[in-house]
Amino acid sequence: MLDVTMDMEQFDCPFIDTSADHDVSFSAMHWQLDTAAEQLETRLLVESPDRYELGEGLSALRDHENMAEYRLFSKEDGTAIIRTVIEETNAMSTITDHGGYITGPFLIEDGSEQWQVGFDDEATTEAALHDLEKGNEFVVEDRTDLSMEALFDTMRNANAASTMLEACRDLTDVERETIESAADAGYFESPREATLSTLADEFDVSTAAVSKNMRRGEKKLLRSVVAALDRLE
């Protein structure tokens, strides 16, 4: 299996058109492609810097000519959750015509969309990418050859991965920045290439404050690692 990540600009996609004209982004929470009906159903998280721009973007999306169904579940400040059904785009039909399948969530912002799609072999991948060029603009950002064993291993251990993800999200901005800076500076190398003093100078705080932020962040991450180990299959 070949897993391909693309930065895609479809010319007939409601989400791309809307994000190009308005300061909104879309993240897929659920998606289902109905090849018989030639439609894509999605549940999406919509985000914007402010409530007004969010409303303008949602209105434009709802009224798009390729929008078959639209439902607003919730809206608060700059965030909304929606359900949509859109007509199959040229890119979607090209992918399915070549036996391709979605392998990851969509992320749409600034008029482009990150696609993660899979194909069963190299020849099919090349044929699909060639046909995609006829009606779309895209850049292949990553191309990975995955074994079915590796794919199923990822699926089996999705809960463990989710545990780690939640721990990363639980970090405060200060904890995350401290740990990232420490890693980049070589604090965790052996021998160490950075010290608490050099990190304290970078953040303009005391060494005690840096140490405290580091230990808090490490504690959260280590707890999640232990929990994830228990859930690994």
Tens-digit pLDDT profile for residues 109-158: 999 898 888 888 889 999 999 999 888 889 998 888 766 666 666 667 66
pLDDT at 118: 86
Same domain membership, residue 163 and residue 131: no
- In this predicted structure, what is the pLDDT of residue 153? 64
Residue 152, domain member (yes or no)? no
Q: Are residues 95 and 126 in the same domain?
A: yes
Question: For 84-100, what is the mean pLDDT?
Answer: 89
pLDDT at 199 (0 to 100): 92
Examine the domain organization and report whether 16 and 38 are in the same domain. Answer: yes
Mean pLDDT of 190-211: 91
Q: CA 94, CA 99: separation in Å to the nearest integer? A: 9
Query: How many domains, in total, are found in the chain?
Result: 2
Which residues form the domain of 29? Answer: 2-146
DSSP notation for 63-90: T-TTEEEEEEEEEETTEEEEEEEEEPPH
HSE-CB at 171 with a 13 A cutoff on CA atoms is 24
Q: For residue 151, is it within any domain? A: no
pLDDT at 154: 61
Do 16 and 110 contact (CB within 8 A), yes or no? no
Same domain for 124 and 15: yes
Q: How confident is the model at residue 48 (pLDDT cuts 50, 70, 90)?
A: very high
Stronger pLDDT, 7 or 1, i.e. the higher one: 7
- Name the pTM for this structure: 0.63
Does residue 26 surpass a pLDDT of 90?
yes
Query: Which of 186, 216, 217, 212 is CA-nearest to residue 200?
Result: 212
Nearest to 83 by CA among 36, 35, 39, 136: 39
pLDDT value for 144: 83
80 and 18, same structural domain?
yes
Same domain, 109 and 44: yes
Question: Which of these three, 146, 179, 205, is where a domain ends?
Answer: 146
210 and 133 inside one domain? no
With b for 16 or more beta-carbon neighbours within 10 A and e for fewer, the 89-122 pattern comes to bbbbebbbebebebbebbebbeebbbbbbbbeee
Q: Are residues 67 and 104 in the same domain?
A: yes
* 93 and 117 within one domain: yes
Residue written as tokens 């991948």? 125
Give percent of the chain above pLDDT 70: 93
> Is residue 23's pLDDT more than 90?
yes
Rounded CA-CA distance 155/147 in Å is 13
- Residue at 201 is within a domain: yes
Question: In the prediction, which pLDDT does 148 show?
Answer: 61
Question: Of 116 and 59, which is predicted with more confidence?
Answer: 59
Residue range 73-77: mean pLDDT, rounded: 92
Contact 98, 131 (CB under 8 A): yes
Taking residues 174-199, report their average pLDDT.
92
Nearest to 45 by CA among 112, 102, 108, 101: 108
For position 201, which CATH number holds?
1.10.10.10
- Lowest-confidence range among 76-90, 173-187, 214-228? 214-228
Task: Identify the helix (H) or strand (E) that includes residue 151.
Answer: helix 148-156
Q: Are residues 107 and 169 in the same domain?
A: no
C-alpha 52/C-alpha 193 separation (Å) is 48
Q: Mean pLDDT of all residues in the chain?
A: 87
Domain final residue pick, 84, 116, 146: 146
Count of beta carbons in the 10 Å neighbourhood of residue 2: 19
- Same domain? 133 vs 22: yes
Confidence of residue 28 (pLDDT cuts 50, 70, 90): confident
Instruction: Examine the pLDDT at 72 and tell me if it is beyond 90.
Output: yes
